[in-house]
Amino acid sequence: MKTGFRHIALVGKHRSPEIAQPLIELAEFLERRGVEVSIDPMTAEHVTDHRRDVLTLEQIGKRADLAIVIGGDGTMLNIARTLAPFDVPLAGVNVGRLGFLTDVSIDTMFDTVGAMLDGQYMVEPRMLVTAAILRGDQRIVEMNAFNEVAINKGPDGALIELEVRIDRQFVYNLRADGLIVASPTGSTAYALSAGGPILHPSLSVLALVPVCPHTLSNRPIVISGNSTLEILVLSADDAGAHFDSHSHHQLHEGDRIEVKRCANLIRVLHPLNHDYYHMLREKLNWSEAPGH
């Protein structure tokens, strides 16, 4: 595990020129603290006169001690998948809407980041999933996802039929609009809107959440993170596999999708006062008053 934040990379929300000013202000704050600062090429397009090294994400992975993402959870998802093999910790400054991952408020950004530079932070390891699409003897694609791997019906509206196996054991045939395989991080994203359970991010588990199943008894289930999930496409018209809603691949009948825990972890840094359950109450508008 890397110690000391001597080089920090700043990554901004894509195509969002409004992040330029807070990013420059944060860069200047870090430099006053003696930290080397770099930014990624896409961020550099919207931040003029930044006077800092522009590094690819791979270069950031090799050189940076910390990456601070300024944007929303979608930005964090993209960066996390890319930087996971390099074991670079991430912190997120929220300028989006929900902010389950980017929990540093832009209003308190300097105080919180300053405290992190002083060693006042907590580290939360989070798992990713890796999925492969196999077509006959060919491995069509293999990709990591931080939130979920989702298999969905095509635009014609016909249900898809899937055969689901866990560790080679048959579980069920599912006719539905789709199936979501969510990590604990993704349990508060697409899977939550489909009726899936909320999973604490420290868990090493996967949630299987059917989307509008034809048989209402097909309910979400939670399985061990050590399991290997195999999904066979039995019937589908123009179905697709989606990785964190950012990468999409068309599926054919007979395709197999294998999903398992990724060998890499993401280390997310939080302020010392981070409270997961308070965040859930705030983001999901749960009652603030304790019961009596």
| Residues identified as active-site | 73
The pLDDT assigned to 256 comes to: 97
Q: Domains (ranges, CATH) in the chain?
A: 7-121+271-284 (3.40.50.10330), 128-263 (2.60.200.30)
Instruction: Give the residues of the chain that fall short of pLDDT 50.
Output: 1-2
pLDDT over 70 percentage in the chain: 96
The pLDDT assigned to 290 comes to: 67
The pLDDT assigned to 48 comes to: 72
The pLDDT assigned to 155 comes to: 84
The DSSP line for the chain is ---S-SEEEEEEPTT-GGGHHHHHHHHHHHHHTT-EEEE-HHHHTT-TT--SEE--HHHHHHH-SEEEEEE-HHHHHHHHHHHGGGT--EEEEE-SSS-SS--EEGGGHHHHHHHHHTT--EEEEEEEEEEEEEETTEEEEEEEESSEEEEE--TT---EEEEEEETTEEEEEEEESEEEEE-TGGGGTHHHHTTPPP--TT--EEEEEEES-SSTT---EEEETT--EEEEEEE-SS-EEEETTTEEEE--TT-EEEEEEEEEEEEEEE-TT--HHHHHHHHHT---SPP-
Per-residue pLDDT tens for 127-166? 999 999 999 999 999 999 999 999 999 888 789 999 999 9
